[in-house]
């Protein structure tokens, strides 16, 4: 099991990696467009690399096979050990994936909504297969059977792909992803901070601290 942060904000990433609970970073064009619309992608990702450890997923934005493959090589060169190419799932995406796998480049097949899609990506050799929890729910389906079925098939057939669950909107999404067998939930800074917070924990710590301070005053 592992936990990734879904962000491109170097400040947030540095702060959250200091907790000692994160193992990697995922980004996508929507995140970067929202967080840093004017940023140079290469500079932004290099900043992310400098304040994190583990794999950093960078998503392709071109659409033809050759364009996607060449774009992949540019990103891979930024850090050949840590950059993971995020390949959007499609027929073209599978061809690009196959070419990258043959070169030993880490891959993360993204925008998956169903077990059969994840299975194809795993058969093609993806390092990670990313199931989009929130977007599956938007279609009116429970994502837990999708995650569980994918994990069962990967385990049964000895496929090495790890299941990332993204599009996480609530703490309960993280809990359910882990319970269903996901290897790696990837969460926004907002969600991971909510994972820490519990009112009863805060009350209990305050009760203990107040008791100790009261004891000191009676001496």
Q: 128 has which bridge partners?
A: 108, 162
Q: What is the pLDDT of residue 33?
A: 94
Instruction: Please give the mean pLDDT across all residues of the chain.
Output: 96
CATH number assigned to the domain comprising residue 190: 3.20.20.70
| Angstrom distance (rounded) from CA 121 to CA 88 | 10
Supply angle C-alpha 36, 37, 42, rounded to 5: 70
Q: What is the pLDDT of residues 139-170, one digit of tens each?
A: 999 999 999 999 999 999 999 999 999 999 99
pTM equals: 0.95
Provide the residue range defining the domain that includes 145.
4-217
The whole-number average pLDDT for the span 104-133 is 98
Q: What are phi and psi of 168, to 5 degrees?
A: -90, 125
Could you identify the residue written with the tokens 């799932």?
Answer: 89
Q: What is the pLDDT of residues 9-32, one digit of tens each?
A: 999 999 999 999 999 999 999 999
Q: What is the pLDDT of residues 27-51, one digit of tens each?
A: 999 999 999 999 999 999 999 999 9
Q: 58 has which bridge partners?
A: 85
Catalytic one of 86, 102, 194, 217: 86
- Using alpha carbons, select from 138, 77, 82, 147 the residue that is nearest to residue 108: 82
**Domain count along the chain:** 1
Is 86 annotated in the active site? yes
Q: Are 116 and 89 in contact (CB under 8 A)?
A: no
| Angstrom distance (rounded) from CA 139 to CA 75 | 32
């Amino acid at each position: 099991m592992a936990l990734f942060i879904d962000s491109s904000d170097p400040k947030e990433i540095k702060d959250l990696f200091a907790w000692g609970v994160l193992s990697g970073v995922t980004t996508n064009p929507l995140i970067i467009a929202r967080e840093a619309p004017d940023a140079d992608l290469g500079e932004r990702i290099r900043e992310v690399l400098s304040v994190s450890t583990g794999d950093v997923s960078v998503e392709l934005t071109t659409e033809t096979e050759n364009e996607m493959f060449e774009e992949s090589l540019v990103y891979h060169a930024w850090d050949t050990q840590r950059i993971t190419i995020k390949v959007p799932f499609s027929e073209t995406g599978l061809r690009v994936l196959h070419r990258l796998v043959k070169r030993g480049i880490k891959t993360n097949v993204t925008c998956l909504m169903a077990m059969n899609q994840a299975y194809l990506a795993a058969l093609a050799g993806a390092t990670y297969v990313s199931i989009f929890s929130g977007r599956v729910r938007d279609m009116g389906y429970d994502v837990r059977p999708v995650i569980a079925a994918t994990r069962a098939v990967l385990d049964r057939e000895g496929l090495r792909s790890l299941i990332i669950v993204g599009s996480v909107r609530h703490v309960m999404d993280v809990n359910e992803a882990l319970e269903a067998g996901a290897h790696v939930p990837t969460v926004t800074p907002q969600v991971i901070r909510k994972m820490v917070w519990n009112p009863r924990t805060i009350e209990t710590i305050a009760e203990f601290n107040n008791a100790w301070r009261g004891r000191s005053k009676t001496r």
